[in-house]
Amino acid sequence: MSVFTLEAGLALLGLVLLMIEAFKPDISRRTLGLTAIAGTAIALVLLPFCGASLPAFMQPWHQIDTLALFYKGFSLVITLLVLWLTLECSPYLTKFTLDGKLAEMFSLPLIVCSGMMWMASARDLVTVFVPLELVTVSFYVLVAFARKSSFSLEAGVKYLILGALSTGVLVYGIAWIYGATGSMSFEGIAKALGNPATSKPAALFGAAMILAGLGFKVAAAPFHMWVPDVYQGAPTPVTAFLSVGSKAAGFVVLTRALDAFLAEGSLIGTEIQAMLLVTGSLTVLLGSLPAMFLTSVKRLLAYSSISHAGYLLLALACRDSARVDLASGGVVAFYLATYLPMTVIGFLGLGLMRANGLGEDIKDFTGLARRNPLLALVMTLSFASLAGLPLTAGFLGKLFVFLGLADHGYWGALTCAIVAAAAGFYYYFKTVLAIYTTEGTDTPALPLGVATKAVAGLLAVTIVVLGVYPKPLQKVLMPASAAVVAK
Amino acid sequence: MSVLEIVIALPLLAALAVWLGAPARAASLGATFINLALVIGAMVRYAGKSGLAFTHSRPILDNPALSFAVGADGVSLILALLTTLVMLAAVWQIEDRPNIFYIASLLIGGGALGAFLTTDVFFIYAFHELALIPTFLMIALHGRAEPAQRKAVAWKTTIYLGAGSLVLLAGLVWAVLEFSGGSKLTFDLTALRAQAAATPLTPEKQAPIFFVLLLGFGTLVSLFPFHSWAAPAYATAPTPVAMLHSGVLKKFGLYGLLRIAVPLLPQGAQVPWVQNALLLMLLGNILVMGLVTIYASRLDDTLANSSVMHMGYIFLAFAAGTEIALKGAVLLMFAHGVSIALLFALCGRMRNQLGTLEYSKLGGLATHAPAFTVLFAFGAFASIGLPGLTNFAGELMIFAGSFANFKAGPLTNLHWTVILALWGVVMSAVYMLRAYRSVFHGSATTGLFMIDPAFSQRAPFILLAATLLVTGCCPWLLLNLMKSAL
């Protein structure tokens, strides 16, 4: 069995669940949710045992290399967590949906996951575009899912309008690139860009448009304006999905596209690299600095997500160096792997606050240490890791980025990254401080289910283990980068 | 497995155990006792050797080369001894406090031990950060001031030390990039030192790196003019945190200079512009802070500012860079750590019992609490630099070592600085004796009354005072551990 059957299977399962809900309306949401979770879990278990063989007709536009496999696993893990988080938050979420139904909240993530997995294997711009739209359109629905909440609707409309615009820009860019290089496949584009006869302005314009379109998906400045409102308005599990899944999908495509644009001897290499450095520096600053003045934790996580996108862009700007084993694609994958557990814990905490009738402001976290010490510890770890404290996974991710920038001598970008990291310390620790403040709180204990405890504990352990023993993950990603370089 | 790994892990595991519900006091005291014994055992085994001992390395990444590598030489062992001593005393003197006091003390101590005993730049940095977090949290949550004020103090400390740490990180990355050699990046300090010895940089190139490291490490040690976080932080911090931070954790910056900056950039501190800047800054520590201390009106202010001031002497040793001065610096780091921890512990107890530390309200405690008075006198006189207590030996070595290259020619800036810095000793005597007189002599205001602590509560103070006396009379006990050149 080849890997691509898993994605097809997941999409099918999503459709089946949708049908079941439509024709058998009295089915409990728990059954639906557990079926979706079981399906994703089975796919995750099967992933390592699947072969990488492809039928001949797929080979020109589909590839299964280490990077693709890593992102497929990544998509499955985040989908699994989001489905579980949805189930956990469902009593609260159903207050805001029509007739208290949630079926699409369980079937659409499966379809999104299948799209993200498909995208990870993309080999040309069409196989990028189609799954990217599959993912984005599904997200339009998910973001606006809490129909009775005006925030969710507002977020949905904003996301729809800006998303459609960015799609337009992306397609426009693809058209220009096709016109300039005569090719849709990344290999063909790389080859054409190495040829001095190719029109440089046309190629550069097309590439810049593609970067702008993708920049919207990953929340790169100056296309990041939609993020705070949409993240704040969307249901918390969807926000987690957007923040981790959608971002990872955008970055795998960016990695592939940039490997073509920045290939050895590319006509537009210098310009694109400069663009990445500027965008990355802007993004880290515009994500971190405004976040210092916020009081809503959900909005704060949205800004933090922007700033993390900035570090990832800076990682992409640093091409390979002999002095560090990970190529830029590898660093991005590593960073995303560390980003997943810490972000999910953050949103898990938010979801639990909501489920217990509390708000999402920093002051609502006051005294959490007394209400639930385990959740407090886990959230502390997650925020420490988001801030990039040593011995947590987040520090290593940032370290790789900083080392890359320093090794290439990009001092301006490095300064921006350091300033942003310093600002990050401030706003993350503002929340941690609230968690441990005790005076003036007499709120009751916040009970957690066994499953919640297990998942939160597992994610926290992942943060620490990745932070002190990253070697296995690096090993996994190394051949990926090598393979990317070879192409 | 190296004994050092156990020493690092024990306090951290004990903290975890307390968090999970183990009896806090028993677990903390047990872990710190065993740790002290292990460190003393290691020192005995190390005696007469030179270079790194007890090394063990667990690779974590191949390229960039990163490993959890432990190893200790005389300097690390002396600082580990300081940490375990102060940690034991800090945990011991905690009375009727929530478990978080024990957890925080163990985390700060464990982090400091990790920073002193690992030999990989990454982990040296990481462990220090680990120790800083509980410091901030404890000041903000349990500091001795109104909530708004202690939060402000905690933020000030966080911002200063956070910014200092980032500058330090930049300096460390710069050093790693310079000294890794061509093939791959390494964080292994031994490899970096070997590379620096084989292909040293020119002094002009060493100077900027050294300066960045000096600013980074210096902020952590409250080098003038980056010192203004320190006094409010120590005056506000809960007693065990003040003891551990001013006594132990602050020494990390000095240790880092000695362990990372000086070996990699041996001429960095002696390049004229760096040296002159450093001399100016350390004179700020000694003279400006000395005057500030003299005008303090509360005991905790005096102690906190004096702790900033005394760092100036140690920086003098770095500016001079001679063997004797640097060895004196290590001795003074140990001595200052023990004496300031003792003083903060006593000060905390007085605040609990009396409710105030204003000189204008205090007086005459000597008649009620003679044992307490004697213990305080040990700390105060050590701080002044009375012969027979460790601080004296350290200061003497620094002054002598810094004035060493004096020939009949004109005096250099360094010599002038030594001459000016000597006045710091006078200032120390002025404020410490004044503090001693106004607290313990004269007559007490009505209502302010305290008695000697019970023996079990006196023990941690006695432990620290005895250390000062023993190592003061026999400084060779520590100096013999530093046979090899620093």
Residue-by-residue pLDDT tens, chain A, 487 positions: 788 888 899 999 999 998 888 888 788 888 888 999 999 999 999 988 887 788 888 888 888 888 888 899 999 999 999 999 888 888 888 888 777 777 788 899 999 999 999 999 998 899 999 999 999 999 999 998 888 888 888 999 999 999 999 999 999 999 999 999 988 999 999 999 888 888 889 999 999 999 999 999 898 988 888 999 999 889 889 999 999 998 999 999 999 898 888 888 888 888 999 999 999 999 999 999 998 888 888 899 999 999 999 999 999 888 766 666 667 778 888 899 999 999 999 998 888 888 777 778 888 888 787 788 888 889 989 999 998 887 888 888 888 888 888 888 888 998 899 889 888 888 888 888 888 877 666 667 777 888 888 889 999 999 988 888 888 887 777 654 444 433 3
Do the Cβ atoms of B394 and B335 come closer than 8 Å? yes
Q: Is residue A421 part of a domain?
A: yes
Q: Judge whether A62 lies within some domain.
A: no
CB contact under 8 A, B177 and A471: no
Q: To which residue do tokens 């302005």 refer? A: A201
pTM across the whole model: 0.84
A111 CA to centre of own chain: 16
Burial state string for A368-383 with b = 16 or more CB within 10 A and e = fewer than 16 = bbbbbeebbbbbbbbb
Residue A284: DSSP 8-state:
H
Owning domain of residue A448 = 308-487
Q: Alpha-carbon distance A44 to A113, whole Å?
A: 11
Flag whether residue B148 sits within 8 Å of chain A, measured between CB atoms: no
Q: Give the residue on A whose Cα is nearest the Cα of B128.
A: A390
Q: Do A471 and B64 touch (CB under 8 A)?
A: no
- Say what percent of chain B tops pLDDT 90: 31
CA distances from A193 to A315, A319, A444 (A): 22, 17, 63
Q: What ipTM goes with this model?
A: 0.76
Q: Which residue has the tokens 């990970």?
A: A326
- Distance, CA of B102 to chain centre: 20
Residue A109 phi/psi, 5-degree rounding, is -55, -30
CA distance A109 to B471: 68
Q: How many CB pairs under 8 A join A and B?
A: 85
User: Would you state the structure tokens that stand for residue A42, as one six-digit string?
Assistant: 């089975």
Say how far apart CA B391 and CA B313 lie, in whole Å.
11
* Contact yes or no for A390 and B122 at CB 8 A: yes
Stated length of chain B: 486
Q: pLDDT tens digits for chain B (486 residues)?
A: 888 999 999 999 999 899 888 888 889 999 999 999 999 999 998 887 888 888 888 888 777 788 888 998 889 999 999 999 999 999 998 888 888 899 999 999 999 999 999 999 988 998 998 898 889 889 988 888 888 888 889 888 988 888 888 889 888 888 888 888 766 788 888 888 888 888 888 888 888 999 999 999 999 999 988 888 888 899 889 999 999 999 999 999 999 999 898 888 888 888 889 888 999 999 999 999 999 999 988 888 899 999 999 999 999 998 888 888 899 999 999 999 999 999 999 998 888 888 888 888 888 888 888 888 889 998 999 998 888 888 888 998 998 888 876 676 777 888 888 888 889 889 999 999 988 988 888 776 666 677 777 888 888 899 999 999 998 888 888 888 887 666
- B185 three-class SS: coil
Q: What angle do CA A395, A398, A404 make, to 5 degrees?
A: 135
Number of domains in chain A: 1
pLDDT at B163: 85
Give yes or no for B129 touching A (CB within 8 A). yes
**Is residue A390 helix, strand or coil?**
coil
**Torsion angle, CA of B404/B408/B410/B414, rounded to 10 degrees?**
0
Q: Which of residues 17-36 of B touch A (CB under 8 A)?
A: 19
Q: Domain boundaries in chain B?
A: 1-270, 275-486
User: A interface toward B at CB cutoff 8 Å?
Assistant: 322-325, 373, 377, 384, 389-391, 395, 399, 402-403, 406-407, 414, 418, 421-422, 425-426, 429, 432-433, 436-439, 468-471, 474
Tell me the chain B residues in contact with residue A432 when contact means C-beta distances shorter than 8 Å: 137
